[in-house]
């Protein structure tokens, strides 16, 4: 049977890992797929003698990615460059040339997936992207295929390893955010510009994809509420522990009577939940289906070979269905073309969550009563209170509140009144999810 010929764009961490896994496990992959998979061309910014390929390699090497997409001998283009451009242009050209595409690029799929999938359907080729979300965890296949019989009610995921590493170090060692971020950069977990990781953009790209698969809605990154972890303090982490919670940077997508919630933000989770105990750079996604109930997917969210595991699985899927028509393949986002649901995506005003609040107030009688009165006016119930002792006489104290579930616009109104009344200079708020 004819082998499937692969062209790699990018020989960095993931590209190198993909080549290594394909070559090392070639025999097992062939036995599983029914045909061999061979790398025939690869491109990287710099090609030197110390490549990952053996000295006797027949792989054609180039410093121009366009050589890969325009090579008539390439059947499957694997895009591991990252970013929006030129990745988008290269992928669209590969599709135009009748080539299947495998990518690990979550930003590309979240922002341009609709255009790319439409072009692929037109040309009758596949676009696979398992490695775009949660590294080596096969969450795309699990949701799209394994849970196809379910109506997905909600999902929640730790889907950025850098943020999880930072919050874990803050909790376990009492370190400040800035201190841990520097270490994350030194270890290679965070980029020199860490904005995508610590401000939630990377996680929002991934949540956009997961929500589309879960609910059969178009990819809508611009409607995903996004909040990072840069304002989380060791004080908040400590108080959360005292209350029986842990702070995680969580992506949440939920189906409600009013529409779909898509949000990424720091979140208090009860410490007894399995997902609250996912530490370091590991990822986990909790999916709740109406038939199966809760299912948890855990593993390495990044790294050369864990991510390569997902990339190679996609290449294997393409190889298995190499000669099948597009109508007989699993739809890219799980729902057939034209069957997408027109469901409203909610703005943050309509989110309903419980809250952790930290106020900085004067140590005087009646402060809590004033706050309680304002909250009562907005229909907000207080579930727990911690008031700390002042550090010095006359100094302000931290007042910690846990609320029951409330619509966010009500909370916004209440906090505006608290600040207007000069009760607290500022209020820290972190949403709470019980994931029951």
> Which residues participate in catalysis according to the annotation?
206
Distance of alpha carbon 271 from alpha carbon 246, whole angstroms: 6
H/E stretch holding 172 reads: helix 161-173
CB 5 within 8 A of CB 315: no
Strands 152-158 and 245-255: antiparallel
| Cα–Cα distance, 332 to 317 (Å, whole number) | 12
All residues at 6 or more sequence positions from 296 whose CB lies less than 8 Å from its CB, including other chains:
274, 275, 284, 285, 286, 287
Burial of 279 (0-12, 13-18, 19+ CB in 10 A): middle
Residue 342: φ, ψ to 5°: -95, 80
State which H helix or E strand residue 132 sits in.
Answer: none
Crossing angle (nearest 10°) for helices 177-186 and 161-173 = 130
Helix boundaries (H) for 216-303: 234-242
Residues with Cβ within 8 Å of residue 321, at least 6 apart in sequence: 126, 328, 329
């Amino acid at each position: 049977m004819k082998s499937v010929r692969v062209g790699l764009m990018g020989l960095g961490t993931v590209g190198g890992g993909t080549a290594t896994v394909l070559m090392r496990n070639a025999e097992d992959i062939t036995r599983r797929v029914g045909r061999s998979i061979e790398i025939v061309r690869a491109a990287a910014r710099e090609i030197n003698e110390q490549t990952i390929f053996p000295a006797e390699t027949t792989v054609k090497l180039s410093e121009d990615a366009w050589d890969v997409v325009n090579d008539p001998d390439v059947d499957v283009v694997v895009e591991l460059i990252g970013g929006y451009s030129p990745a988008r242009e290269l992928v669209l050209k590969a599709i135009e040339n009748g080539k299947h595409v495998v990518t690990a690029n979550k930003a590309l799929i979240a922002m341009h997936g609709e255009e790319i999938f439409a072009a692929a359907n037109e040309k009758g080729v596949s676009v696979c992207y398992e490695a775009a979300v949660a590294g080596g965890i096969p969450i795309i296949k699990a949701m799209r295929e394994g849970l196809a019989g379910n109506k997905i009610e909600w999902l929640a995921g730790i889907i950025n390893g850098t943020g999880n590493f930072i919050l874990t170090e803050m909790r376990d060692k009492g370190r400040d955010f800035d201190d841990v971020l520097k270490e994350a950069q030194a270890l290679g977990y965070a980029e020199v510009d860490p904005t995508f990781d610590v401000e939630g953009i990377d996680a929002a790209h991934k949540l956009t994809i997961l929500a589309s698969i879960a609910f059969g809605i178009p990819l809508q990154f611009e409607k995903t509420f996004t909040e990072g972890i840069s304002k989380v303090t060791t004080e908040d982490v400590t108080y959360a522990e005292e209350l029986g919670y842990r702070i995680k940077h969580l992506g949440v997508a939920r189906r409600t009577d009013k529409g779909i919630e898509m949000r990424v933000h720091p979140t208090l989770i009860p410490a007894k939940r399995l997902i609250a105990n996912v530490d370091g750079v590991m990822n986990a996604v909790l999916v709740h289906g109406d038939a199966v109930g809760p299912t948890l997917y855990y593993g390495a969210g990044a790294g050369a070979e864990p991510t390569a595991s997902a990339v190679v699985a996609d290449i294997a899927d393409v190889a298995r269905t190499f000669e099948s028509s597009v109508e007989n393949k699993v739809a890219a986002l799980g729902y057939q073309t034209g069957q997408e649901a027109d469901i409203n995506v909610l703005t943050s005003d309509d989110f309903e969550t419980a809250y952790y609040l930290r106020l900085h107030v004067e140590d005087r009688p009646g402060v809590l009563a004033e706050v309680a009165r304002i909250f009562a006016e907005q229909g907000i119930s207080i579930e727990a209170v911690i008031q700390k002792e002042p550090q010095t006489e006359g100094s302000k104290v931290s007042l910690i509140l846990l609320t029951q579930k409330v619509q966010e616009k009500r909370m916004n109104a209440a906090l505006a009144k608290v600040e207007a009344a000069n009760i607290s200079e500022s209020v820290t708020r972190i949403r709470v999810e019980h994931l029951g």
